Amino acid sequence: MNINSKRLLKEKTMGGAMFFITILSLLLVVVMGVGLYMKSSPIFNELSLLDILTAREWRPAKSQFGFFPFVMGTVWVTLIAIIIAFPISLFTALYLTEYAKSVVRKYVYPALDILAALPSVIYGVWGTLVVVPWISKKLGPVFVDYTSGYTVLAAGIVLGIMILPLLVSLFVEIFSTVPMAMREVSLALGSTRWQLSTKVIMKKSLPGIFATIVLAVSRALGETIAVLMVCGNVPQIPHSIFDACYPIPALIANNYGEMLSMPLYEAALMLAATILFVVVLVFNLTSRIVLRRISKND
């Protein structure tokens, strides 16, 4: 075998091998999805999906698996996180792209990357040490008689701050796709930067802003550790932001591996995981598709 056919053989085998590895990791997602469903399917012999999702009682020992409190816990926490993170990240990104000098950007972008890379348990610890006491001692008493601090609000704040770096960097990316000429046109007509930002940049970026929020929601839905540490973990439907709650990821993380001798308990937890899996997958895919379209257009 001469030297040329040798290197060509190598080229071919390596190409094939790497393709295989890539496909494998993609296949893993499918395998996980199917696996989760298989594990959760026994519960459907007893209850329908709709029953499980709308039932309010969670008593595994009595085979009562009502998901509604957990669904509501997830919705509340995610909603508050988005409400907190969306305006902050939007204005930060606008500032960075439209107002800030490049020196500022040079220092802020790496700082954001560091924030994004912090392990979530650190956010959890910070939440327990700072946010929870602040809510129970300072903010809570203003509105309610008693709150432990381990609340929907605490979880929302911690989660909101966790998803902030992701939102900012995505918004910056989206605003950067608005052509420079468009900025010139607006400023040349005598607009202020604020008018440019609100009437041109944000308007042009609307689909992207929407897709980004969806992506952030999917990220927030799945966050486990930090939320689990500050949300209180009480299986109840929260009635205010000062009530404790129990989102789905926390439910799975806290209970899996315990008391699995109970009939259908494992299946119920696996169903929770399946629901989370599907919702996050769908959200993620939709927003990624939209975001890709946007960057292609420009």
Partner 1 sequence: MTLFVKRLAKSENGFTKEEFSMFKHENEDSSGLYCEKLNVSINGNHILKDVSLKIPKNKITCIVGPSGCGKSTLLKTFNRIIDMTEGVKISGKIMLGSENIADMSFNDLTEIRRRIGLVPQRPCPLPMSIYDNIAYGCRIHGITKRKDLNKIVVHYLNEVGLWNEVRNRLQTPATGLSIGQQQRLCLARSIAVEPEIILADEATSALDPVSSKIVEDLFVRLKEDYTIVMVTHTLRQALRIADYAIFIYMGKVVEEGPAKEVFENPQNELTKNYLLGVFS
Q: Which residues bind partner 1 (CB under 8 A)?
A: 101-102, 179-193, 195, 199-200, 203-204
Instruction: List 65's β-bridge partners, or say none.
Output: 58
Measured from the CB atom, is 6 or 199 closer to partner 1? 199
Residue 166, sorted as left (phi over 0), alpha (psi -120 to 50) or beta, turns out to be alpha
Measured from the CB atom, is 56 or 199 closer to partner 1? 199
Which residue matches tokens 């490049």? 102
Closest approach of Cβ 127 to partner 1, in Å? 39
Closest approach of Cβ 99 to partner 1, in Å? 10
What angle do helix axes 265-297 and 152-176 make, rounded to 10 degrees?
A: 30
Q: Please give the span between the terminal C-alpha atoms of the chain, in angstroms, as a whole number.
A: 49
Among 282, 278, 252, residue whose Cα is nearest residue 49 = 278
Closest approach of Cβ 106 to partner 1, in Å? 11
Measured from the CB atom, is 31 or 185 closer to partner 1? 185
Residue 232, sorted as left (phi over 0), alpha (psi -120 to 50) or beta, turns out to be left
Closest approach of Cβ 206 to partner 1, in Å? 9
Closest approach of Cβ 101 to partner 1, in Å? 8
In angstroms, the CA 287 to CA 271 distance is 24
Which residue matches tokens 């929907």? 152
Measured from the CB atom, is 19 or 99 closer to partner 1? 99
**Residue 264 identity (one-letter amino acid):** L
Measured from the CB atom, is 186 or 224 closer to partner 1? 186
Measured from the CB atom, is 212 or 233 closer to partner 1? 212
In angstroms, the CA 109 to CA 117 distance is 12
In angstroms, the CA 181 to CA 230 distance is 47
Closest approach of Cβ 69 to partner 1, in Å? 44
